[in-house]
Copies of this chain bind each other. A is one copy, B any other.
Protein backbone atom coordinates (compact mmCIF):
# COMPACT_ATOMS: atom_id res chain seq x y z
CA UNK A 1 0.00 0.00 0.00
CA UNK A 2 1.40 3.37 -0.99
CA UNK A 3 -1.40 5.87 -0.37
CA UNK A 4 -4.57 5.29 1.61
CA UNK A 5 -7.25 7.70 0.49
CA UNK A 6 -10.02 5.29 -0.52
CA UNK A 7 -11.43 1.95 0.51
CA UNK A 8 -10.82 0.96 -3.12
CA UNK A 9 -7.11 0.75 -2.36
CA UNK A 10 -7.57 -2.12 0.07
CA UNK A 11 -6.60 -5.32 -1.71
CA UNK A 12 -7.53 -7.73 1.04
CA UNK A 13 -9.98 -6.56 3.68
CA UNK A 14 -9.72 -9.74 5.72
CA UNK A 15 -5.95 -9.55 5.94
CA UNK A 16 -6.13 -5.91 7.01
CA UNK A 17 -8.73 -6.67 9.67
CA UNK A 18 -6.58 -9.51 10.97
CA UNK A 19 -3.58 -7.18 11.09
CA UNK A 20 -5.62 -4.61 13.05
CA UNK A 21 -6.81 -7.31 15.46
CA UNK A 22 -3.28 -8.48 16.12
CA UNK A 23 -2.13 -4.87 16.67
CA UNK A 24 -4.98 -4.36 19.13
CA UNK A 25 -3.71 -7.30 21.16
CA UNK A 26 -0.18 -5.92 21.27
CA UNK A 27 -0.21 -2.23 20.29
CA UNK A 28 3.38 -1.51 21.29
CA UNK A 29 4.90 -4.64 19.79
CA UNK A 30 6.28 -2.97 16.68
CA UNK A 31 7.77 0.26 18.03
CA UNK A 32 10.99 -0.09 16.08
CA UNK A 33 9.08 0.03 12.78
CA UNK A 34 8.44 3.76 13.08
CA UNK A 35 11.69 4.71 14.75
CA UNK A 36 13.04 7.95 13.30
CA UNK A 37 9.97 8.21 11.08
CA UNK A 38 7.69 11.24 11.12
CA UNK A 39 4.04 11.64 10.20
CA UNK A 40 2.63 15.06 9.40
CA UNK A 41 -1.02 15.43 10.37
CA UNK A 42 -2.47 18.32 8.40
CA UNK A 43 -5.96 19.63 9.15
CA UNK A 44 -8.13 21.94 7.10
CA UNK A 45 -11.13 21.06 9.32
CA UNK A 46 -11.97 20.18 12.92
CA UNK A 47 -11.09 16.73 14.20
CA UNK A 48 -11.17 14.92 17.52
CA UNK A 49 -11.23 11.14 17.04
CA UNK A 50 -9.27 11.10 13.82
CA UNK A 51 -6.56 13.38 15.10
CA UNK A 52 -6.06 11.73 18.47
CA UNK A 53 -6.37 8.15 17.21
CA UNK A 54 -3.97 8.66 14.33
CA UNK A 55 -1.47 10.47 16.54
CA UNK A 56 -1.80 7.64 19.05
CA UNK A 57 -1.36 5.01 16.35
CA UNK A 58 1.77 6.74 15.10
CA UNK A 59 3.23 6.96 18.59
CA UNK A 60 2.41 3.30 19.23
CA UNK A 61 4.61 2.55 16.23
CA UNK A 62 7.43 4.72 17.56
CA UNK A 63 6.83 7.52 15.05
CA UNK A 64 6.97 11.23 15.71
CA UNK A 65 3.77 13.11 14.90
CA UNK A 66 3.74 16.74 13.82
CA UNK A 67 0.26 18.28 13.85
CA UNK A 68 -0.63 21.42 11.88
CA UNK A 69 -3.92 23.25 11.45
CA UNK A 70 -3.38 24.60 7.98
CA UNK A 71 -6.12 27.20 8.15
CA UNK A 72 -4.67 29.29 10.93
CA UNK A 73 -1.08 28.16 11.44
CA UNK A 74 0.29 27.89 7.92
CA UNK A 75 -0.10 29.74 4.66
CA UNK A 76 -3.28 29.96 2.57
CA UNK A 77 -2.91 27.47 -0.26
CA UNK A 78 -3.51 27.90 -3.98
CA UNK A 79 -4.62 24.71 -5.76
CA UNK A 80 -5.12 25.86 -9.36
CA UNK A 81 -2.35 24.97 -11.78
CA UNK A 82 -1.05 27.90 -13.77
CA UNK A 83 -2.55 30.42 -11.37
CA UNK A 84 -1.16 33.92 -11.33
CA UNK A 85 -0.82 34.24 -7.58
CA UNK A 86 -1.56 37.91 -7.13
CA UNK A 87 -4.41 37.45 -4.61
CA UNK A 88 -4.54 36.24 -1.05
CA UNK A 89 -3.13 32.72 -1.56
CA UNK A 90 0.47 32.66 -0.36
CA UNK A 91 1.65 29.20 -1.30
CA UNK A 92 0.86 26.73 -4.05
CA UNK A 93 -0.01 23.13 -3.25
CA UNK A 94 2.84 22.10 -5.57
CA UNK A 95 5.35 23.57 -3.14
CA UNK A 96 3.45 22.78 0.05
CA UNK A 97 3.11 19.09 -0.75
CA UNK A 98 6.69 18.66 -1.87
CA UNK A 99 8.05 20.69 1.04
CA UNK A 100 6.13 18.72 3.66
CA UNK A 101 7.43 15.60 1.93
CA UNK A 102 10.94 16.75 2.84
CA UNK A 103 10.14 16.59 6.56
CA UNK A 104 7.62 13.77 6.82
CA UNK A 105 7.70 10.09 5.89
CA UNK A 106 3.91 10.03 5.68
CA UNK A 107 1.49 12.93 5.12
CA UNK A 108 -2.03 12.61 6.49
CA UNK A 109 -4.67 15.20 5.58
CA UNK A 110 -8.20 16.12 6.50
CA UNK A 111 -10.11 18.18 3.97
CA UNK A 112 -13.90 18.29 3.89
CA UNK A 113 -15.90 18.84 0.69
CA UNK A 114 -17.24 22.22 -0.36
CA UNK A 115 -20.71 20.65 -0.82
CA UNK A 116 -21.21 23.39 -3.41
CA UNK A 117 -18.71 22.48 -6.13
CA UNK A 118 -19.65 18.90 -6.93
CA UNK A 119 -17.07 18.46 -9.65
CA UNK A 120 -14.21 19.59 -7.43
CA UNK A 121 -15.45 17.46 -4.55
CA UNK A 122 -15.83 14.35 -6.71
CA UNK A 123 -12.31 14.89 -7.99
CA UNK A 124 -11.18 14.79 -4.34
CA UNK A 125 -9.44 18.02 -5.22
CA UNK A 126 -7.36 18.71 -2.11
CA UNK A 127 -6.32 15.18 -1.16
CA UNK A 128 -5.54 14.24 -4.73
CA UNK A 129 -3.47 17.39 -5.15
CA UNK A 130 -1.37 16.22 -2.22
CA UNK A 131 -1.18 12.74 -3.75
CA UNK A 132 -0.11 14.26 -7.05
CA UNK A 133 2.67 16.44 -5.70
CA UNK A 134 3.82 14.75 -2.49
CA UNK A 135 6.81 12.46 -2.78
CA UNK A 136 5.80 10.37 0.24
CA UNK A 137 2.66 8.32 0.98
CA UNK A 138 -0.56 10.23 1.65
CA UNK A 139 -3.28 9.10 4.04
CA UNK A 140 -6.78 10.55 4.11
CA UNK A 141 -8.02 11.70 7.50
CA UNK A 142 -11.37 12.23 5.73
CA UNK A 143 -11.56 13.76 2.33
CA UNK A 144 -14.39 15.14 0.23
CA UNK A 145 -15.77 11.74 -0.77
CA UNK A 146 -14.23 9.13 1.54
CA UNK A 147 -13.24 8.49 5.14
CA UNK A 148 -11.45 5.18 4.71
CA UNK A 149 -9.85 5.00 8.18
CA UNK A 150 -13.35 5.21 9.67
CA UNK A 151 -14.59 2.44 7.42
CA UNK A 152 -11.70 0.22 8.42
CA UNK A 153 -12.49 0.77 12.10
CA UNK A 154 -16.12 -0.02 11.29
CA UNK A 155 -15.46 -3.36 9.62
CA UNK A 156 -13.04 -4.27 12.43
CA UNK A 157 -15.82 -3.55 14.93
CA UNK A 158 -18.36 -5.57 12.97
CA UNK A 159 -15.95 -8.50 12.68
CA UNK A 160 -15.38 -8.42 16.43
CA UNK A 161 -19.05 -8.07 17.35
CA UNK A 162 -20.86 -10.22 14.83
CA UNK A 163 -22.79 -13.25 16.09
CA UNK A 164 -23.34 -14.89 12.73
CA UNK A 165 -21.04 -15.65 9.84
CA UNK A 166 -22.84 -13.27 7.50
CA UNK A 167 -24.62 -10.52 9.42
CA UNK A 168 -27.14 -8.12 7.97
CA UNK A 169 -25.81 -4.57 8.10
CA UNK A 170 -28.10 -1.59 7.53
CA UNK A 171 -26.84 1.89 6.82
CA UNK A 172 -29.64 4.27 7.64
CA UNK A 173 -29.92 7.96 6.87
CA UNK A 174 -31.09 10.04 9.83
CA UNK A 175 -32.06 13.70 10.19
CA UNK A 176 -29.59 16.45 11.06
CA UNK A 177 -29.77 20.26 11.13
CA UNK A 178 -26.76 20.80 8.90
CA UNK A 179 -25.73 19.69 5.42
CA UNK A 180 -23.20 16.92 5.92
CA UNK A 181 -20.66 15.27 3.58
CA UNK A 182 -20.93 11.84 1.95
CA UNK A 183 -17.48 10.66 2.96
CA UNK A 184 -18.51 8.40 5.83
CA UNK A 185 -21.48 6.68 4.13
CA UNK A 186 -19.47 6.32 0.91
CA UNK A 187 -16.54 4.59 2.56
CA UNK A 188 -18.82 2.49 4.74
CA UNK A 189 -20.81 1.37 1.72
CA UNK A 190 -17.67 0.51 -0.22
CA UNK A 191 -16.34 -1.45 2.74
CA UNK A 192 -19.58 -3.37 3.28
CA UNK A 193 -19.66 -4.28 -0.40
CA UNK A 194 -16.23 -5.85 0.02
CA UNK A 195 -17.15 -7.62 3.26
CA UNK A 196 -18.97 -10.83 3.99
CA UNK A 197 -22.25 -9.16 4.98
CA UNK A 198 -25.73 -8.55 3.63
CA UNK A 199 -25.75 -4.82 3.06
CA UNK A 200 -28.82 -2.63 2.94
CA UNK A 201 -29.04 1.15 2.65
CA UNK A 202 -32.18 2.98 3.69
CA UNK A 203 -32.97 6.65 3.24
CA UNK A 204 -35.78 8.94 2.05
CA UNK A 205 -36.12 9.35 -1.70
CA UNK A 206 -33.75 12.00 -3.00
CA UNK A 207 -30.97 10.92 -0.64
CA UNK A 208 -29.48 8.33 -2.99
CA UNK A 209 -25.71 8.27 -2.61
CA UNK A 210 -23.41 8.33 -5.63
CA UNK A 211 -24.61 5.31 -7.65
CA UNK A 212 -21.01 4.45 -8.54
CA UNK A 213 -20.44 3.90 -4.85
CA UNK A 214 -23.58 1.97 -3.98
CA UNK A 215 -23.65 -0.30 -7.00
CA UNK A 216 -24.46 -3.76 -5.70
CA UNK A 217 -26.11 -2.58 -2.50
CA UNK A 218 -29.78 -3.10 -1.71
CA UNK A 219 -31.57 0.21 -1.33
CA UNK A 220 -34.87 0.23 0.57
CA UNK A 221 -36.83 3.44 1.07
CA UNK A 222 -38.91 2.07 3.95
CA UNK A 223 -36.76 2.29 7.07
CA UNK A 224 -38.94 -0.14 9.05
CA UNK A 225 -38.67 -2.76 6.37
CA UNK A 226 -34.96 -2.25 6.05
CA UNK A 227 -34.41 -2.72 9.80
CA UNK A 228 -36.02 -6.16 9.84
CA UNK A 229 -33.60 -8.85 11.02
CA UNK A 230 -30.70 -6.43 10.97
CA UNK A 231 -27.67 -7.37 13.07
CA UNK A 232 -26.05 -3.93 12.82
CA UNK A 233 -27.67 -0.53 12.38
CA UNK A 234 -25.23 2.14 11.23
CA UNK A 235 -26.85 5.59 11.44
CA UNK A 236 -25.53 8.60 9.60
CA UNK A 237 -26.84 11.77 8.12
CA UNK A 238 -25.79 13.03 4.73
CA UNK A 239 -26.99 15.77 2.43
CA UNK A 240 -28.45 15.09 -1.00
CA UNK A 241 -26.02 13.90 -3.65
CA UNK A 242 -28.34 14.56 -6.60
CA UNK A 243 -29.43 18.00 -5.42
CA UNK A 244 -25.86 18.45 -4.34
CA UNK A 245 -25.42 19.51 -0.71
CA UNK A 246 -29.11 20.22 -0.13
CA UNK A 247 -31.11 19.28 2.96
CA UNK A 248 -34.24 17.71 1.52
CA UNK A 249 -35.72 16.40 4.74
CA UNK A 250 -35.38 16.65 8.48
CA UNK A 251 -38.10 14.09 9.03
CA UNK A 252 -37.85 13.05 12.70
CA UNK A 253 -39.48 9.73 11.92
CA UNK A 254 -36.08 8.66 10.61
CA UNK A 255 -34.39 9.14 14.00
CA UNK A 256 -33.19 5.82 15.41
CA UNK A 257 -35.22 4.97 18.52
CA UNK A 258 -35.71 1.92 20.70
CA UNK A 259 -38.95 1.28 18.88
CA UNK A 260 -37.09 1.17 15.59
CA UNK A 261 -34.39 -1.03 17.06
CA UNK A 262 -37.05 -3.52 18.18
CA UNK A 263 -37.62 -4.33 14.51
CA UNK A 264 -34.09 -5.69 14.27
CA UNK A 265 -32.42 -8.92 15.32
CA UNK A 266 -31.24 -7.31 18.58
CA UNK A 267 -28.93 -5.24 16.40
CA UNK A 268 -25.86 -3.39 17.59
CA UNK A 269 -26.03 0.38 17.05
CA UNK A 270 -23.13 2.08 15.28
CA UNK A 271 -22.22 5.68 14.47
CA UNK A 272 -18.90 7.26 13.52
CA UNK A 273 -19.37 10.21 15.92
CA UNK A 274 -19.75 13.08 16.54
CA UNK A 275 -23.47 12.46 16.68
CA UNK A 276 -26.41 14.79 17.23
CA UNK A 277 -28.32 13.27 20.11
CA UNK A 278 -32.07 13.12 19.76
CA UNK A 279 -31.80 14.11 16.12
CA UNK A 280 -29.89 11.24 14.54
CA UNK A 281 -30.44 8.84 17.42
CA UNK A 282 -32.38 8.91 20.68
CA UNK A 283 -30.47 8.92 23.97
CA UNK A 284 -32.12 5.60 24.84
CA UNK A 285 -30.35 3.87 21.95
CA UNK A 286 -27.00 5.64 22.21
CA UNK A 287 -26.83 5.04 25.96
CA UNK A 288 -28.33 1.57 25.71
CA UNK A 289 -26.58 -1.80 25.97
CA UNK A 290 -26.46 -2.39 22.20
CA UNK A 291 -24.58 0.78 21.39
CA UNK A 292 -21.03 0.01 20.25
CA UNK A 293 -20.00 3.53 19.26
CA UNK A 294 -17.10 3.66 21.75
CA UNK A 295 -15.77 0.34 20.54
CA UNK A 296 -15.83 1.88 17.05
CA UNK A 297 -13.96 4.92 18.35
CA UNK A 298 -11.45 2.72 20.15
CA UNK A 299 -10.85 0.75 16.97
CA UNK A 300 -9.89 3.93 15.13
CA UNK A 301 -6.45 3.62 16.72
CA UNK A 302 -5.90 0.08 15.49
CA UNK A 303 -7.30 0.81 12.03
CA UNK A 304 -4.89 3.72 11.67
CA UNK A 305 -2.05 1.65 13.09
CA UNK A 306 -2.71 -1.15 10.61
CA UNK A 307 -2.57 1.29 7.69
CA UNK A 308 0.58 3.01 8.97
CA UNK A 309 2.14 -0.39 9.50
CA UNK A 310 1.41 -1.45 5.92
CA UNK A 311 2.74 1.82 4.54
CA UNK A 312 5.93 1.67 6.59
CA UNK A 313 6.46 -1.99 5.72
CA UNK A 314 5.91 -1.21 2.06
CA UNK A 315 8.43 1.65 2.16
CA UNK A 316 11.21 -0.52 3.59
Please report A residues at the B interface, Cβ cutoff 8 Å: 27-28, 36, 38, 40, 43, 46-49, 51-53, 55-56, 59-60, 64, 66, 68-69, 72-75, 78, 82-87, 90-92, 94-96, 98-100, 102-104, 177, 273-279, 283, 286-287, 293-294, 297-298, 300-301
Contact = CB atoms under 8 A, between A and B. Distances in A.
Greatest chain B CB density within 10 A among A43, A82, A91 is at A91
A275 B82 CA distance: 13
Q: How would you classify the secondary structure of chain A's contact residues: helix, strand, loop or mixed?
A: mixed
Given A90-B274, A102-B298, A56 B66 contact: yes
A43 B68 CA distance: 13
The count of identical subunits is 3
A36 to B, nearest CB: 5
Given A85-B276, A86-B276, A283-B82, A102 B47 contact: no
A27 B84 CA distance: 38
Given A84-B277, A98-B294, A298-B102, A56 B38 contact: yes
A78 B280 CA distance: 15
A99 B297 contact: yes
Contacts of A46: 72-75, 90
A5 B90 CA distance: 25
Contact of A99 (B40, B49, B177): B49
B68 A273 contact: no
22 contacts: A38-B59, A46-B90, A48-B68, A49-B99, A51-B68, A52-B66, A52-B104, A55-B103, A56-B66, A56-B103, A69-B72, A82-B278, A83-B278, A84-B279, A85-B279, A86-B276, A90-B276, A95-B274, A95-B293, A98-B297, A99-B273, A103-B301
A13 to B, nearest CB: 23
Given A72-B72, A86-B177, A95 B38 contact: no
A280 to B, nearest CB: 8
Contacts of A300: 102
Nearest to A78: B277
Contacts of A177: 86-87
A64 B59 contact: yes
A48 B100 contact: yes
A55 B66 contact: yes
Contacts of A92: 274-275, 277
A293 B102 CA distance: 11
Nearest to A52: B103
Nearest to A36: B28
A53 to B, nearest CB: 6
Contacts of A276: 85-86, 90
